[in-house]
Amino acid sequence: MTFTALPDLAVRTLGGSVLAASDESFAEKENLLNPWAPAFVPATFGPKGQRYDGWETARRRAPGHDWALVRLGLPGVVHGVVIDTAWFKGNYPPHASVEATAMDGHPSPAELAAADWTELVPRSPLQGDTAHAFPVAPGGLATHVRLRMFPDGGIARLRVHGEVVPDPDRLTGLTVDLAALENGARVVECSDAFYSSPDNMLFPGLARTQADGWETARRRDDGNDWALIALAAPGVVRLAEIDTTHLKFNAPAEVALTGLDEHGTPTVVLPRTRVQPDTRHHFRVTSPEVTHVRVDIHPDGGLARLRLYGDLTPAADHALTTRWQTLRNRM
Ligand SMILES: NC(=O)NC(NC(N)=O)C(=O)[O-]
């Protein structure tokens, strides 16, 4: 599996933020984390020059280099970084590097500047108009990253792919969404992701458009589409939310949920149940302790969101706490 299949911990739609940058004279630092592919319309000149969907600094007339400080939307272990110079052809930086740090609480840019930083991507050569994928050997926990470019120029996007490691303070002892990406859940297999990724249905908040959810192609056989979710941690599911919002002419006719325990033994959590287009459905359910849930949509379509509220097992509470502390100390 390539690291780009893992969630982008920095993307704006998961809560990432560019806290500060040395300069953003030509184009705003915030663009680095836009969820969409970088756009470009040639010869669109504004008062500051050509418009770019990226971060672009002034031509440096003094020694030094430019940098941007990013708070990840979700803390995690980084498996790879993409530095994308899309559309920056005569103004890309010849070199860039990325570092990470882990800090508790809500540190300010000044506190972060004084932190200990670990190198993720050493100073590396870049090309113009190219998405550079840099695999990173998984290490400790990261909460923030720093992108440096040498000496100046434009970078369209920074993607920081990795495993989400949730802070146990937000989960242990509480009833939580076991399927939330922000709690560490992830889609590990699916039948179809033609229009959009099934991980989308695990994103925070409500879907704003059809594109914010999971959508499959029209099926032309007798089968049905499905996705397998590795839960945030082993637990018992008590309430399922199945949200077809924005799927008006392409909602599934029926949805079913199957829980899988650590041995892969299946249990029906929600039998095939009729659903309506453009509707948030809530179903009280019971399940044994499960590690995965498979959602079957009949025959095809997609879902805007899937929420599986429930309780972690005591062993999962303990494992989440130990994992957080171990990875926190390793950075
Ligand atoms: N045509 C350009 O893109 N020029 C430059 N940048 C902008 N945004 O105009 C530059 O000097 O790097």
* pLDDT tens, position by position, 112-157: 999 999 999 999 999 999 999 999 999 999 999 999 999 999 999 9
pLDDT digits (tens, 9 = 90+) for 72-120: 999 999 999 999 999 999 999 999 999 999 999 999 999 999 999 999 9
pLDDT band, residue 264 (cuts 50/70/90)? very high
Instruction: Using the mean position of ligand 1's atoms as its centre, give its distance from the Cα of residue 91 in Å.
Output: 7
Residues 156 and 178 reside in one and the same domain: no
Q: Please, what is the Cα angle at 103 between 100 and 108, to 5 degrees?
A: 95
Instruction: Using the mean position of ligand 1's atoms as its centre, give its distance from the Cα of residue 56 in Å.
Output: 9
Average confidence (pLDDT) over 254-280: 98
Q: Given this model, what pLDDT does residue 1 score?
A: 77
pLDDT band, residue 311 (cuts 50/70/90)? very high
Is position 330 within any domain? no
Q: Given this model, what pLDDT does residue 121 score?
A: 98
Is position 327 within any domain? no
Average confidence (pLDDT) over 251-260: 98
Q: Which of 24, 25, 26 to mutate to test the pocket of ligand 1 (most atoms within 8 A of CB)?
A: 26
pLDDT band, residue 262 (cuts 50/70/90)? very high
**Cβ neighbourhood burial of 277 (10 Å; 0-12, 13-18, 19+):** middle
Residues 258 and 295 reside in one and the same domain: yes
- The interface predicted TM-score (ipTM) is 0.96
Place of tokens 């590795």: 230
Domain count, the chain: 2
pLDDT digits (tens, 9 = 90+) for 267-277: 999 999 999 99
Domain boundaries, position 285: 168-313
Residues 217 and 114 reside in one and the same domain: no
Q: How far is CA 96 from CA 17, 24, 152, 156, 227, in A?
A: 19, 16, 9, 13, 37
Instruction: Using the mean position of ligand 1's atoms as its centre, give its distance from the Cα of residue 59 in Å.
Output: 9
Instruction: Using the mean position of ligand 1's atoms as its centre, give its distance from the Cα of residue 50 in Å.
Output: 6
Residues 154 and 195 reside in one and the same domain: no
Residues 111 and 212 reside in one and the same domain: no
User: What's the mean per-residue pLDDT of the chain?
Assistant: 97
DSSP 8: B
Render the burial of 146-167: b for 16+ CB within 10 Å, e for the rest. bbbbbbbbbbbbbbbbbbbbbb
Percent of the residues in the chain that have a pLDDT greater than 90, as a whole number: 99
CATH code at 46?
2.60.120.260
| Atom of ligand 1 at shortest range from CA of 153 | 12
Q: Given this model, what pLDDT does residue 316 score?
A: 95
Q: Given this model, what pLDDT does residue 22 score?
A: 98
Instruction: Using the mean position of ligand 1's atoms as its centre, give its distance from the Cα of residue 64 in Å.
Output: 20
Q: How far is CA 55 from CA 15, 133, 145, 276, 284, in A?
A: 18, 18, 16, 42, 46
Residues 149 and 194 reside in one and the same domain: no
Instruction: Using the mean position of ligand 1's atoms as its centre, give its distance from the Cα of residue 132 in Å.
Output: 21
Q: Given this model, what pLDDT does residue 7 score?
A: 96
Reduce the DSSP state of residue 48 to 3 states and report it.
coil
pLDDT at 162 over 90: yes
Question: What is the spatial distance between Cα 181 and Cα 164, in angstroms, rounded to a whole number?
Answer: 8
Structure tokens at 141: 């926990």
pLDDT at 244 over 90: yes
| Atom of ligand 1 at shortest range from CA of 27 | 8
pLDDT digits (tens, 9 = 90+) for 179-208: 999 999 999 999 999 999 999 999 999 999
| Atom of ligand 1 at shortest range from CA of 52 | 8
Residues 28 and 140 reside in one and the same domain: yes
pLDDT band, residue 329 (cuts 50/70/90)? confident
Ligand 1 proximal residues by C-beta, below 6 Å: 26, 49-50, 52, 56, 59, 91
